[in-house]
Amino acid sequence: MTEDISIEAHIAKVEKLIGYTFTNKEHLLSAITHRSYLNEHRNATQDHNERLEFLGDAVLELVITDFLFHKYPHKPEGELTAVRAALVNTVSLSESATKLGINDYLLMSKGEAKDTGRARQYILANAFEAIIGALYVDQGYEASREFIEKHLFSKTEQIVEKRLWQDPKSRFQELAQEHENITPSYQTLAQVGPDHDRVFTVGVFLKDKKIAEGQGRAKQEAQQAAAEAALAAKGW
């Protein structure tokens, strides 16, 4: 089987995955192509996905902003901005891309393909935005909006209900005051390592009771980690 035929088959599978047939297959091919792939495949004719990601990011922001503006007519601008940020951050987009199955169809170098964790999250989130950009270019605004609606809108109520738009420390403080009428306090329990590579362990307390611990390379980072662990410990 030639590379052209295999690429055509690859694109057909991605089209089936996302539910759209592209007029210009090159748009979708570019959307799933990471820059590193072109470094290892000099004969490839498609572009990488960074330009489409740039476009898709703008389309995504408009669609989500319009949706939130009409869904929550009484929420202030600051809260709408925070909810939007939670909907379109790297974790949210990479989760949606993974659930869709995009991870199995990304074109990357062998080195990039081995990456996991945060590095892969960025690649998946960028590909998700690039697919939105490709849909916009090939199918128009309505198709890209339908795609976003299908894969992101449903997350909104959970984000608002569980206050996931807040950072963990702010969220834990509000809920601690709401449920127990106590303002949390934080104590540094340990710090290890040299100045340039120090790790802090921080405990979060309600009165004298330690609820959870968290670690980070800065005290603020450790406090956020402790607050997130405390939310889980309390079941909030």
Q: Are residues 86 and 148 in the same domain?
A: yes
Q: Are residues 112 and 43 in the same domain?
A: yes
Using DSSP, state whether 197 is helix, strand or coil: helix
Q: Which residues lie closer than 8 Å to 205 by C-beta, 6 or more apart?
A: 184, 185, 186, 187, 211
- Rounded to whole angstroms, how far apart are CA atoms 223 and 218? 9
Q: Are residues 57 and 146 in the same domain?
A: yes
Beta strands 209-216 and 199-206 are: antiparallel
- Rounded to whole angstroms, how far apart are CA atoms 107 and 132? 17
Q: Which position among 57, 112, 138, 228 bears the catalytic label? A: 57
pLDDT in tens, 194-207: 888 899 999 999 99
- Rounded to whole angstroms, how far apart are CA atoms 83 and 62? 14
pLDDT in tens, 141-187: 999 999 999 999 999 999 998 778 878 898 899 899 999 999 999 99
> What pLDDT is recorded for position 2?
37
> What pLDDT is recorded for position 1?
31
pLDDT in tens, 101-153: 999 999 998 877 777 667 888 999 999 999 999 999 999 999 999 999 999 99
**In this structure, what CATH number is given to the domain that contains residue 222?**
3.30.160.20
pLDDT over 50 (residue 89): yes
Please list the residues that pair with 203 across neighbouring strands. Answer: 187, 213
Q: Which position among 112, 129, 138, 228 bears the catalytic label? A: 129
Host domain of residue 214: 168-234
- Decide if 104 is catalytic: no
- Decide if 112 is catalytic: no
pLDDT in tens, 35-87: 999 988 888 889 999 999 999 999 999 999 999 999 999 999 998 998 999 89
**In this structure, what CATH number is given to the domain that contains residue 54?**
1.10.1520.10
Q: Which of 118, 137, 161 is the last residue of a domain?
A: 161
For residue 152, give the nearest of 105, 84, 58, 80 by alpha carbon: 84
> What pLDDT is recorded for position 179?
94
Q: Are residues 182 and 145 in the same domain?
A: no
Q: Are residues 98 and 197 in the same domain?
A: no
